[in-house]
């Protein structure tokens, strides 16, 4: 066989191999597309809520959540349209500092001062451990829930499932829903107790489940991290959050002070953060 025929045969063989490889890649891609589409359909509102919930249950099981908790928490859960309405209608914080602090601080000052006295020994111990003074914790407590009087009535699991399915912040709320199941799994709260604000905040200082998992502490040593009913746990966990976000013992927490940035990790709104600082300062001056 001469060299030209050899080259021609080699070229033909190369074409056959190339076509075979292209075909194999096309088949592989075709096989992968339905799976990818299926994953996308269960990631948020592109598919039915039931399909999404089934996928989430599988993910929860893979992450170690027990079948008992998964079933009890998620069976029968439906989308909460009132939560979607609240989420979609949010507006940027519009009040000035003077308006907001003037509305929020004076009505809470007397009770805040009483709380400083009632929980004085607990607050002192918390400051020894975390470096956060009691007036800051009581100010946050008062602003968030009126010292535990208004923690919210929304079903936390339903709210988080709704927001995870909605696609606006699907990954964020999917993670929060998983952490809410972990709170139940480790016995901090029962499912019946999992009620709070519409966006999933829980407890007397309104922790998102992810913050609960990271920063909640059992300060009174009763074996549970209970930020819904247990005031020492509530206040110490709030202090732990701030300490974990750079709080410096003994330093100023007013605007421009070293600890103002730690307060802003609690709430990104400068108006709200300044109000915490103002409320705390006034508590130190209260009789």
Q: Active site includes 144?
A: yes
CA distances 218 to 13, 192, 231, 232, Å, are 72, 20, 10, 8
CA distances 127 to 38, 121, 234, 271, Å, are 51, 10, 14, 25
How many Å apart are CA 139 and CA 116, to the nearest integer?
10
Cα angle: 173, vertex 156, 277; to 5 degrees: 80
How many Å apart are CA 284 and CA 109, to the nearest integer?
11
Q: Are 77 and 157 in contact (CB under 8 A)?
A: yes
Task: Take residue 33 and report the two structure tokens written for it.
Answer: 């597309």
Considering 3, 99, 127, 144, which one is annotated as catalytic?
144
How many Å apart are CA 103 and CA 101, to the nearest integer?
5
Catalytic site positions: 144
């Amino acid at each position: 066989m001469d060299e030209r025929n050899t080259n021609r045969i080699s070229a033909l063989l190369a074409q056959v191999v190339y076509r075979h490889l292209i075909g194999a890649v096309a088949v592989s891609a075709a096989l992968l597309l339905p799976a990818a589409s299926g994953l996308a359909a269960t990631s948020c509102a592109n598919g039915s809520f039931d399909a999404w919930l089934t996928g989430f249950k599988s993910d929860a099981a893979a992450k170690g959540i027990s079948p008992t908790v998964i079933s009890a928490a998620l069976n029968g859960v439906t989308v909460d349209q009132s939560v979607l309405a609240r989420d979609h209608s949010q507006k940027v914080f519009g009040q000035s500092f003077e308006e907001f602090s003037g509305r929020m601080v004076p009505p809470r000052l007397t009770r805040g001062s009483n709380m400083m006295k009632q929980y004085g020994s607990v607050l002192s111990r918390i400051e020894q451990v975390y470096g956060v003074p009691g007036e800051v914790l009581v100010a946050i407590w008062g602003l968030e829930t009126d010292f535990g009087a208004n923690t919210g009535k929304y079903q936390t699991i339903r709210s988080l499932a709704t927001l995870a399915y909605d696609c606006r912040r699907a990954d964020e709320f999917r993670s929060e829903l998983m952490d809410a199941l972990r709170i139940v799994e480790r016995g901090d709260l029962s499912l019946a107790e999992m009620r709070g604000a519409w966006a999933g905040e829980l407890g007397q200082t309104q922790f998102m489940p992810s913050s609960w998992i990271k920063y909640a502490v059992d300060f009174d040593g009763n074996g549970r991290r209970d930020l819904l009913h247990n005031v020492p746990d509530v206040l110490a966990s709030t202090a732990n959050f701030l300490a974990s976000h750079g709080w410096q013992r003994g330093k100023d927490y007013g605007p421009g002070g070293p600890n103002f940035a730690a307060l802003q990790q609690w709430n990104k709104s400068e108006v709200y953060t300044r109000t915490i600082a103002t409320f705390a300062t006034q508590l130190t001056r209260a009789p």
